Amino acid sequence: MSATETAMKRVAYYKGCLASLSAKELDSSTQALAPMVGIELVELESVTCCGAGDIHEAEPDYYLHLNARILAYAEATGCETLMTVCNVCTLNLRQANFMLQGDAALLGRVNENLETVGVPTYSGGVEVRHFLWEIAEGEGYEKLKDVAHRGLKGLKVAPFYGCQILRPSKIMGFEDPDRPWSLERIIQACGGEAIDYPAKVKCCGFPIIAAREETALGEMIQPIEQALEAGADVMVTPCPLCHLSLDAWQQKLEASTGRAFQLPILHLAQLVGVAAGLEEAELKFKRHIVDPRPALERLEV
């Protein structure tokens, strides 16, 4: 049975800032892949940035209200799930959601404010889930196994989780933050070989890359160096911020160390997309700084 013949799961799709601009390839590959794994994306029209960690730090009350507004518009679609494709959006939205669901007085105050500016109120009925979780288990995983028939044929893939999809685990709660398994499971289902290395759960340095570049590069080198030592052909990450630092800033790491890493970094939807036979028009590898195509062309398909 093909994926489209069974019921599709409707989710409100929050793409966030990066997938709207510098990581458009994440949006196009997610849009193309989602129906193949049984997910119907309902795009949100009137949403803003979640504020990253930045509005949470600069004006935390505003952070809460911006995220409540996103949750309210997601609820208004009638979907039970708000699907994210970015670690930072996932943490921000899940955190705000738990704050509102666990404190009736706070929810009341926020709703009053939302109403004042003309936003629908939020009842607390949405669950925020990352695309990774949707395809790592359950129905999504079963369909993934069906569509990933083109296979990655022994491609050595380094899973890189990043931080804010694992920690704080009380807010994430999907898997053991020290022994995660979801990316490995997906890599294997696509016919790839998941390689293991300690820095896969550590920070890529992105949040401070503009303000503390040297410190950020000192963090970023760990996953890149360790993945290459373990024999990785490519790296995959569920977070477009990790992607941006690991891909775009890799040239700065090369300049500062005098070494040539040239490790291609794939978005999760691109890696599965390759296995599912998506084309360059959707994968848009030309938008990467380190071109993954030479590594992928070696695949015998």
Partner 1 sequence: MQVGLKIWRYDSATGDRALREYEIEAPEEATLLDCLDIVKERHDGSLAYRKSCRMMICGSCGMRMDGAAVLACKTRMYDIAEEGRVPVISAMGNLPIVKDLVVDMDPFWAKFKSTQPWLQPGYERPDDGREYRISQERMNVIHKEALCINCGCCVSECNAMESDPEFLGPQALAKGMRFVGDPRDGATVERLERYNQEHGIWDCTRCYFCNERCPKGVDPRDAIAKLGAESIRLGIDRDMGAKHAKWFVRSAETTGWLREEELIPKTQGYVAAIKQLKFGASLARHGKVRPIPFPHTANDVDEARNLRKLVREQDRDGALGIVQGERALGRLEHGHKDESLEEIYERPGAAPRPWLPEVEEEASA
How far is residue 14 from each of residues 7, 178, 193, 273, measured CA to CA in Å?
A: 21, 27, 30, 19
Using CB under 8 A as the binding rule, whether residue 171 contacts partner 1 is answered as yes
Kindly state the tokens that stand for 90: 């996932």
Distance of closest approach, residue 153 Cβ to partner 1, in angstroms: 27
Distance of closest approach, residue 154 Cβ to partner 1, in angstroms: 28
Question: Cα(85)–Cα(31) distance, rounded to whole angstroms?
Answer: 11
CB atoms within 10 A of CB 148: 25
Residues in 247-286 that interact with partner 1 by CB under 8 A: 248, 251-252, 286
Residues in 31-60 that interact with partner 1 by CB under 8 A: 45-49, 51-60
Question: Cα(278)–Cα(290) distance, rounded to whole angstroms?
Answer: 19
> For partner 1, which stretch binds (CB under 8 A), given 26-34, 78-86, 188-196, 208-216?
208-216
Distance of closest approach, residue 228 Cβ to partner 1, in angstroms: 19
Determine which residue in the list 116, 281, 297, 300 makes contact with partner 1, applying CB under 8 A: 116
Residues in 123-162 that interact with partner 1 by CB under 8 A: none
> For partner 1, which stretch binds (CB under 8 A), given 31-39, 74-82, 88-96, 129-137?
88-96
- DSSP for 123-178 reads -S--EEEEHHHHHHSHHHHHHHHHHGGG--TT-EEEE---STTTSSHHHH-SS-SS
Bridge partners of residue 83, in order along the sequence: 13, 129
Closest to 119 (Cα-Cα) out of 67, 64, 73, 55: 73
* Chain centroid to CA 55: 20
Single-letter residue type at 128: V
Determine which residue in the list 129, 143, 185, 288 makes contact with partner 1, applying CB under 8 A: 288
> For partner 1, which stretch binds (CB under 8 A), given 136-144, 188-196, 207-215, 274-282?
207-215
Whose Cβ is closer to partner 1: residue 192's or residue 223's? 223
Determine which residue in the list 10, 150, 153, 287 makes contact with partner 1, applying CB under 8 A: 287
Distance of closest approach, residue 99 Cβ to partner 1, in angstroms: 3
Question: Cα(238)–Cα(159) distance, rounded to whole angstroms?
Answer: 9
Integer Rg of the chain from CA: 19
Distance of closest approach, residue 139 Cβ to partner 1, in angstroms: 25
Distance of closest approach, residue 253 Cβ to partner 1, in angstroms: 12
Which 3 state secondary structure label does DSSP give 190?
coil
Kindly state the tokens that stand for 162: 């990043």
Question: Mutual orientation of helices 250-257 and 213-229 as an angle, nearest 10°?
Answer: 90
Distance of closest approach, residue 54 Cβ to partner 1, in angstroms: 4
Residues in 3-32 that interact with partner 1 by CB under 8 A: 17-18, 20-24
Kindly state the tokens that stand for 196: 């293991």
Determine which residue in the list 12, 163, 235, 271 makes contact with partner 1, applying CB under 8 A: 163
Question: Cα(136)–Cα(204) distance, rounded to whole angstroms?
Answer: 23
Whether residue 26 contacts residue 14, with contact meaning beta carbons closer than 8 Å, is answered with: no
Draw the binding track, 227-246, toward partner 1 (x: CB under 8 A; -: no contact): -----------------x--
Whose Cβ is closer to partner 1: residue 5's or residue 179's? 179
Distance of closest approach, residue 4 Cβ to partner 1, in angstroms: 30
Using CB under 8 A as the binding rule, whether residue 89 contacts partner 1 is answered as no
Whose Cβ is closer to partner 1: residue 100's or residue 147's? 100
